[in-house]
Homo-oligomer: A and B are copies of this chain.
């Protein structure tokens, strides 16, 4: 089974999710600086979610690049990931419009948590399909980022009801942690080719 179509479909869905989010930035009716002010939290939420989706696309790209075999369960694990990612525009919009509220901030974390779990499942399925000594297995290694992120999301969700600023800070921290490019796979590839 070829992975090209899996990649193409995932690219399509992520591209649409990332672009649909911008529709929450509704064109204001006035033309003063003041009319832009209430859009600022919506805009910042958009930036954060854009970065998250970009990280997912980037890591997805790297992960599949190191794969050769795609099976039926992998297709479903991938669709499961896309399902949770597809809810990000909703939670982004809700958090953006209610920037001092606890529940939207917590729900934002819940969707991130579920997406992280879905990614973890997909990664496991891919490693299983490539065989024990696969490039991907070595590249992923101990995967401390992948294991730390869900823990941080859970903390952020719990903390949200006390201080939504603290959980927002955690979301930004996790994003920054992943922004440092995931060079494990690139390095493993380079070693193989050398």
Interface, chain A (partner B; CB < 8 A): 1-2, 5, 7-9, 11-20, 22-25, 27-29, 31-33, 36, 47, 50, 54, 57-58, 61-62, 65, 71-73, 75-76, 79, 82-83, 86-87, 89-90, 93-94, 97-98, 101-104, 107, 179, 181-183, 186, 189
Contact = CB atoms under 8 A, between A and B. Distances in A.
B90 A25 contact: yes
Contact of A94 (B15, B28, B50): B28
B90 A57 contact: no
Q: Chain A at the B interface: mostly helix, strand, loop or mixed?
A: helix
Given A1-B65, A12-B11, A83-B50, A58 B76 contact: yes
A58 B79 contact: yes
A101 to B, nearest CB: 4
